[in-house]
Amino acid sequence: MVHLFEMKGKKIAFDSECSSIYVLDDLSYNLLERYRRKGGERPSETELLLFSRETETDPGEITEICDSFDGLISAQSLFAPRIEADYSTLYPDGPIIKAMCLHICHDCNMRCLYCFAGTGDYGTHNRSMLSAETGRKAVDFLVAASGERHHLDIDFFGGEPLMNWPVVTELTDYCERIGRRSGKDIRITITTNSLQLDREKSEFINKHMKNCVLSIDGRPDVHNRMRPGIGGTATYEPIRNHIRDFVKLRESEKSAYHEYYVRGTFTRHNLDFSEDVKHLAETLDARHISMEPVVSEPGTSYAIRDEDVYTIEKEYERLAEYLDMTRKTDKPVHFFHFKMDFEGGPCVYKRLKGCGVGSEYVAVTPEGDIYPCHQFVGEKEFLMGNVSGMEKISDKNGVLLPGRRVEDILDPTVRQMFFERLMPNRESCATCFARYHCGGGCAANRYFATGSLDEEYEIGCKLTKKRLECSIWLACVKQDADM
Amino acid sequence: MKHITIIHEANIKFPCSGKACGECQTSCQSACKTSCTVANQPCEADR
């Protein structure tokens, strides 16, 4: 579908089916709107004559624009046909789990007010640590589940994973050994609040882990308000220092890996969050930043409300302007949600499959429980199984016994629940221009905001669309600068 | 086309196999974790 929008003086057309982007002048923008109303067909000669009179434009000029549009339409670069894909195309071998959020511990040394993990214990009142033994079973489970997939991903998550550092290092070593033995490329990410991130841990992460996500919310007052330590202590200063030192090491030639994200959360207390992105870039020298809208039950003082959406949309525009400004310097800042490759990026099937919750991606708790993703942990109706089941279906090295599959220890009803809700089946996504951008959106956001996997989380959808518009605008202004 | 500037033209790609290869990273493996952006994930088949 063709989406027309204006942003900061630019009139832009985006065809979501093929990712084409055009910048239009007033005349062609209004004319394309008429094409759109007719489902992508050229308006009749009478309609064009009327349009010519309304706009006081020479009919020959109108014909010239229409001929250009018609050429793009016949090349399927405008009003491109809808992409159809069935499950057998999206999952030719059935859903295959190949990514895992491994909860290194369900405890935390901070008490963030908005924590979806219940400050570490996921609402269980049981603070626990993953044992190396259960962690190895989880890795074995992932390798066994992954079939022919070569690239596997594990995120060491929490709670706060640095609180269980010996298990982090032991499992890293295990992943590397199992990867070599099984021929898999097991890529590790760690997500940390950075409070215990010292030089030794930073060097280990830089040597072994493909990605690192470091949490800090931005300006000192913003951060300290929502991310206090135990007892309400201020955590901004030590965390700022740790992340600044880490980023310097990570970006140096000494680091084996360079990918990282400094990641913040914004709430309705800091709707001017572009200032926090600037702060992270300018104070921590961070180049790769993400700033996420808070996930919260409706009704909390910090939850994003419907009436905040317009302010947030304008803030995303300010953020896009800031990124455009840094692009022209020797220290460009990259924002996770605006970092689009319109000339490449993932294939259309990836875009239709979305995040892979419960079908390609699972979370495993310190007790070995398997859930569709980290946000569903503790919601018993979504419990899929336990990695201890590997003892029944694998040998002492964690290799599957003949005739056994990991599906033997998974509840098929939970997987089916998410499989049936893939984006191609979602009615509200059918008419959305951002459908190939978010792949149907976050199931957990929908569930926690509305109580249902089927209802739309409307605020989330609006913000996703705005982020996509900002990405498109950035592509347009970049081309302006390159010309 | 003085009225129309082309920024990108028809870029969404189909895998050469005609099916999803499933090798690319899941979005929550990056910085997402609480929202869902999949269009910024790189294609692993390119590597």
Distance CA A404, CA A448 (A): 35
**Cβ–Cβ below 8 Å for B19 and A442:** no
- DSSP letters of A237-251? HHHHHHHHHHHHHHT
> The complex's ipTM?
0.89
- Radius of gyration over every alpha carbon of chain B, rounded to an integer in angstroms: 15
* Identity of the residue in B32, B34, B39 whose CB atom sits nearest the CB atom of A437: B39
Residue B26, pLDDT score: 81
The answer to whether residue B47 scores a pLDDT higher than 60 is no
* Identity of the residue in A151, A343, A345 whose CB atom sits nearest the CB atom of B40: A345
Residues of B numbered 18-47 whose beta carbons fall under 8 angstroms of chain A's beta carbons: which are they? 18-20, 22-46
Residue A327, pLDDT score: 94
**Cβ–Cβ below 8 Å for A345 and B32:** no
Q: Which of A62, A73, A349 to mutate to test the interface with B (most CBs of B within 10 A)?
A: A349
Distance CA A357, CA A415 (A): 9
Backbone angles phi, psi at B8, to 5 degrees: -140, 145
Residue A195, pLDDT score: 98
Ramachandran region of residue A107, left (φ > 0), alpha (ψ -120 to 50) or beta? beta
Which residues of chain A register pLDDT less than 70? Answer: none
**Cβ–Cβ below 8 Å for B22 and A360:** yes
Q: Which two tokens stand for residue A391?
A: 């003892």
User: By CA distance, what is A154's nearest residue in B?
Assistant: B29
Residue A291, pLDDT score: 96
In B, which residues are within 8 Å of A437 by CB distance?
Answer: 37-39
In A, which residues are within 8 Å of B16 by CB distance?
Answer: none
In B, which residues are within 8 Å of A265 by CB distance?
Answer: 34
Q: Find out whether A428 and A460 touch, Cβ atoms under 8 Å.
A: no
User: Counting every residue, how long is chain A?
Assistant: 483
Residue A83, pLDDT score: 82
A304 alpha carbon, distance to own chain's centre? 18
Residue A403: what residue type? G
Residue A361: what residue type? Y
User: By CA distance, what is B14's nearest residue in A?
Assistant: A347
DSSP state of B3: T
Q: Which of A184, A158, A186 is nearest to A172 (CA)?
A: A186
**Cβ–Cβ below 8 Å for B23 and A150:** yes
Distances (CA, A) of A356 to A87, A209, A211, A335, A439: 13, 22, 19, 23, 9
Q: Find out whether A216 and A194 touch, Cβ atoms under 8 Å.
A: yes
A260 three-class SS:
coil
- Side-chain half-sphere CA neighbours of A93 within 13 A: 13
Tens-place pLDDT, residues A298-326: 889 999 999 999 999 999 999 999 999 99
A324 three-class SS:
helix
* Residue A291 CB partners (closer than 8 Å, separation 6+): A218, A263, A264, A265, A266, A273, A276, A277, A319, A335
Q: Other CB atoms closer than 10 Å to residue A311's CB: what's the count? A: 12
User: By CA distance, what is B13's nearest residue in A?
Assistant: A347
DSSP state of A195: T
**Cβ–Cβ below 8 Å for B10 and A151:** no
User: pTM for the complete prediction?
Assistant: 0.94
Burial (CB < 10 A; 0-12, 13-18, 19+), residue A389, is middle
In B, which residues are within 8 Å of A116 by CB distance?
Answer: 34
Distances (CA, A) of A167 to A129, A164, A172, A204, A442: 9, 6, 8, 13, 30
Chain B: nearest CA to A283, how far in angstroms? 20
Q: Other CB atoms closer than 10 Å to residue A455's CB: what's the count? A: 12
- Radius of gyration over every alpha carbon of chain A, rounded to an integer in angstroms: 24
* Identity of the residue in A336, A460, A475 whose CB atom sits nearest the CB atom of B8: A475
**Cβ–Cβ below 8 Å for B32 and A80:** no
Q: Which of A334, A350, A360 to mutate to test the interface with B (most CBs of B within 10 A)?
A: A350
Backbone angles phi, psi at A40, to 5 degrees: 95, 10
Residue A320: what residue type? A
* Identity of the residue in A22, A65, A93 whose CB atom sits nearest the CB atom of B6: A22
Residue B15, pLDDT score: 65
Tens-place pLDDT, residues A200-241: 999 999 999 999 999 999 999 999 999 999 999 999 999 999
- Whether chain A has a CB inside 8 Å of the CB on B7: the answer is yes
In B, which residues are within 8 Å of A376 by CB distance?
Answer: none
Tens-place pLDDT, residues A8-64: 999 999 999 989 999 999 999 999 999 999 999 999 999 999 999 999 999 999 999
The answer to whether residue B46 scores a pLDDT higher than 60 is no
Residue A114, pLDDT score: 94
In A, which residues are within 8 Å of B11 by CB distance?
Answer: 18-20, 342-345
Q: Find out whether A329 and A292 touch, Cβ atoms under 8 Å.
A: no
* Residue A462 CB partners (closer than 8 Å, separation 6+): A309, A313
**Cβ–Cβ below 8 Å for B24 and A346:** yes
In B, which residues are within 8 Å of A351 by CB distance?
Answer: 12, 38-39
The answer to whether residue B16 scores a pLDDT higher than 70 is no
- Whether chain A has a CB inside 8 Å of the CB on B16: the answer is no
Distances (CA, A) of A371 to A106, A213, A391, A411, A454: 15, 21, 19, 10, 19
- C-beta pairs of A277-280 under 8 Å, 24+ apart in sequence: A277/A218, A277/A319, A277/A322, A277/A333, A277/A335, A278/A322, A279/A218, A279/A219, A280/A216, A280/A218
